[in-house]
Amino acid sequence: MTYILGIDAGSSYIKFVLIDETGGIIGKSIVPRGAEIDASCRKNYEILSETLEIDQKQIDGIIATGYGRKQVSFADEVITEITALAIAGYSITPNIRMIIDIGGQDSKVVSLNESGKVIDFVMNQKCSAGTGKFLEVTSASLGVKVEDLGPLSLNADKDLSLSSTCTVFAESEIISFVAAGQKKENIIKALHNTISSQILGLYYQANADDQGEILFAGGVALNDGMVTQLSSKLNQRVRVPENPQFICALGAALFLKNKQMKKPV
Partner 1 sequence: MKLESSKTILTKLFTEYYLTGTQAKKEGKPIAFITAFAPVEILRAMGVFCMYPESYAVVCAASKKASEMIHASRMSSFTQDLCSYSLIDFGTEHYERLPYGGLPDPDMLIATNNQCGTTLLWFKLLSKKKNIPLFIIDYPAAADDRPALRQYIRRQHESLVEFVQQQTSNPIDDQILSEQIANSKKTCQTWKNIHELNKQSPIRLSANKLINALFPIVAAKGTKSACDYYEALLHENQPSPENESKGATRLLWHGYPMWFLAKKFPGCFDTDFQIVLDDYTLWWDLDYSSGADPMEAMTKAYSSTYLNWPLNQKLDWVESLVDEYAIGGVICHANRSCRRALADIVPLRKRLSKRNIPSIIVESDMANPDFYSKEQVRLRIESFRETLRAS
- Other C-beta atoms closer than 10 Å to the C-beta of 264 total 3
**83 interacts with partner 1 by CB under 8 A:** yes
Region of residue 116 (phi > 0: left; psi between -120 and 50: alpha; otherwise: beta):
left
Q: Rg of the chain's alpha carbons, rounded to an integer?
A: 19
Q: Closer CB to partner 1, residue 179 or residue 261?
A: 261
Instruction: Return the number of the residue (43 or 117) whose C-beta is nearest partner 1.
Output: 117
Cβ-based neighbours of 160, under 8 Å, separated by 6 or more? 177, 182, 186, 187, 189, 190
Binding string, residues 124-143; x marks residues near partner 1 by CB under 8 A: -xx-----------------
Classified as helix, coil or strand, 29 is strand
Q: Are 33 and 14 in contact (CB under 8 A)?
A: yes
Smallest distance, Å, CB 149 to partner 1? 26
**Least distance (Å) between residue 224 CB and partner 1:** 29
Nearer to partner 1, 79 or 195 (CB): 79
- Quick check: 106 binds partner 1 (CB under 8 A)? yes
Residues 10-69 that bind partner 1 (CB under 8 A): 67
Q: For residues 49 and 124, which CB has a smaller minimum distance to partner 1 in the complex? A: 124
Please select the residue that binds partner 1; options are 20, 38, 76, 120, rule is CB under 8 A.
120
Closest to partner 1 by CB, 113 vs 231, is 113
User: Is 121 a binder of partner 1 (CB under 8 A)?
Assistant: yes
The nearer residue to partner 1, 225 or 251, going by C-beta atoms, is 251
Does residue 77 belong to the site contacting partner 1 (CB under 8 A)? no
CB atoms closer than 10 angstroms to residue 139: 21
First to last CA, the chain: 17
Question: How far, CA to CA in Å, does 165 sit from each of 2, 8, 181, 198?
Answer: 47, 27, 22, 8
Distances (CA, A) of 93 to 215, 250, 258: 9, 14, 17
Report the DSSP beta bridge partners of residue 98. Answer: 111, 214
The span from the CA of 213 to the CA of 225, in Å, is 19
Kindly state the smallest distance separating residue 143's Cβ from partner 1, in Å. 31
Exactly one of 91, 197, 205, 231 binds partner 1 (CB under 8 A); that residue is 205
- What is the Cα–Cα distance from 104 to 135, expressed in whole angstroms? 9
Note whether 96 binds partner 1 by CB under 8 A.
no
- Contacts with partner 1 in 239-258 (CB under 8 A)? none
- Which stretch, 53-61, 96-104, 116-124, 184-192, contacts partner 1 (CB under 8 A)? 116-124
Angle at 246 between CA 243 and CA 56, to 5 degrees: 120
In the bound state with partner 1, the residue whose beta carbon lies nearer, of 227 and 253, is 253
Q: Which residues bind partner 1 (CB under 8 A)?
A: 67, 79-83, 86, 106, 117-123, 125-126, 205, 207
